[in-house]
Amino acid sequence: MSPITVTIRQTPSDSDQKKPESFSQIPDHDLEAIGRNCQFEYCHQLDFLPFRCESCKGTFCLDHRTETAHKCSHAGEWARRRQAANTATTSSLPLEKPTIYNSIQCSHPACKTLIDTAKDPAVHCDKCNRKYCLKHRLREEHDCSKLIPLGARPGHGGSTPNDTIKSMFSRIRTWGNNATSIGPNGKPKPTSAASRMVQVNTMKKTAKGEASIPADKRIYLHVVGTSTTQRPDPPTSNLFFDTRWKVGRVLDDAARRLGVENLNNRADSEEAKLRIFHIESGEFLEFSDTIGDGKLKSGDTIVLMRGAGVMLGK
């Protein structure tokens, strides 16, 4: 009888096991693994610490543990399973929106800082319910006392809705009569083309809008928020919009940036809905019109008016 060869060795160290291999060592607590013979055709030596091939599931000694050494019949199978598992795990993970490309700007009318990013975190003001950059986070810095909190519904006090609407239209007529002479800053409006260009260039320095809008598709407007008898100083700002946008989208974007409550998609009553009034033409804009159809030009003023549809019979 030929002698039986027995191989006894130490377990590989942790550093030897870090790299993924096509074989794995059978744990010593597996009683069936004690004293297994290598399954390679020309070996069959007894090994007390055998290896299992992860491709063909055979048991081999130290010398024949690799796929090449024992001429594995399913070579590469473990690698394909590993790659498929990694692909499935990667595809199942939800995609996170990178906050570094956030387009939310500071709510201060003169600030164009992008907030909610890793570099510039947003600071929420619990009084006016708006978000600001670190520079304008204090109430004194953003004139918090003059702002109506976002989400708050202004009351009518002792006046009726019709009184408010009449007051609104009275103010519109005054604005319309002065449209050719008074600019959005309350100063005499420039009459020459050169002066108007200077005014538009000044607006561009503080105008806020979506950064993704191409420069050649922008129209710069001075926007005034809702004006009622309860608020003689409505919110105002220089904003820019895409000339391809419909008036309805311009209204939604302007209301959001000025902090004006917009109930157009929720309210059934015209008294609560907003409409856009163009000061220079003295007309209300239709929601389906395109803002860049030629009626408006950079430097003009538009006003967000609530309840105008009642008087217009809309």
Q: What is the pLDDT of residue 144?
A: 84
Q: How far is CA 8 from CA 43, 47, 66, 69, 292, in A?
A: 16, 7, 19, 20, 85
Q: Give per-residue pLDDT as tens, 113-139.
A: 888 887 888 888 888 888 899 899 888
Q: What is the pLDDT of residue 61?
A: 87
Q: Where are the domains of the chain?
A: 33-85, 96-150, 194-311
How confident is the model over 18-37, as a mean pLDDT?
Answer: 63
Question: In this structure, which amino acid lies at residue 214?
Answer: P
Residues 6, 11, 14, CA angle at the centre, nearest 5°?
Answer: 160
CA proximity to 243, closest of 285, 213, 222: 213
**d(Cα 222, Cα 240) in Å, to the nearest integer?**
9
Q: Give per-residue pLDDT as tens, 31-42.
A: 454 668 888 888
Q: What is the 3-state secondary structure (H, E, C) of the chain?
A: CCCCCEECCCCCCHHHHCCCCCEEECCCCCHHHCCEECCCCCCCCEECCCEEECCCCCEECCCCCCCCCCCCCCCCHHHHHHHHHHHHHHHHCCCCCCHHHCCCECCCCCCCCECCCCCCCCEEECCCCEEECCCCCCCCCCCHHHCCCCCCCCCCCCCCHHHHHHHHHHHHHHHHHCCCCECCCCCECCCCHHHHHHHHHHHHHHCECCCCCCHHHEEEEEEECCCECCECCCCEEEEEEECCCEHHHHHHHHHHHHCCCCCCCCCCCHHHCEEEEECCCCEEECCCCECCCCCCCCCCEEEEEECHHHHHCC
Q: What is the pLDDT of residue 91?
A: 56
Two tokens, residue 196: 């108007």
- Topology (CATH) of 96-150: Zf-an1 domain (4.10.1110)
Identical fold at 96-150 and 194-311?
no
Q: What is the pLDDT of residue 233?
A: 67
How confident is the model over 210-226, as a mean pLDDT?
Answer: 90
Q: Check whether 188 has a pLDDT greater than 70.
A: no
What is the residue whose two structure tokens read 């420039």? 190
Q: What is the pLDDT of residue 240?
A: 94
Q: What is the pLDDT of residue 9?
A: 55
Confidence band for 291, pLDDT divided at 50, 70 and 90: very high
**d(Cα 283, Cα 278) in Å, to the nearest integer?**
5
Q: Give per-residue pLDDT as tens, 32-83.
A: 546 688 888 888 888 777 888 888 888 888 888 888 888 888 888 888 888 8
Q: What is the pLDDT of residue 181?
A: 46
Q: Give per-residue pLDDT as tens, 137-158.
A: 888 888 888 787 776 554 444 4
- Topology (CATH) of 33-85: Zf-an1 domain (4.10.1110)
Instruction: Give the right CATH number for 194-311 from 3.10.20.270, 3.30.565.60, 2.60.40.420, 3.30.460.80.
Output: 3.10.20.270
CA proximity to 307, closest of 91, 159, 146, 92: 159
Q: Check whether 298 has a pLDDT greater than 80.
A: yes
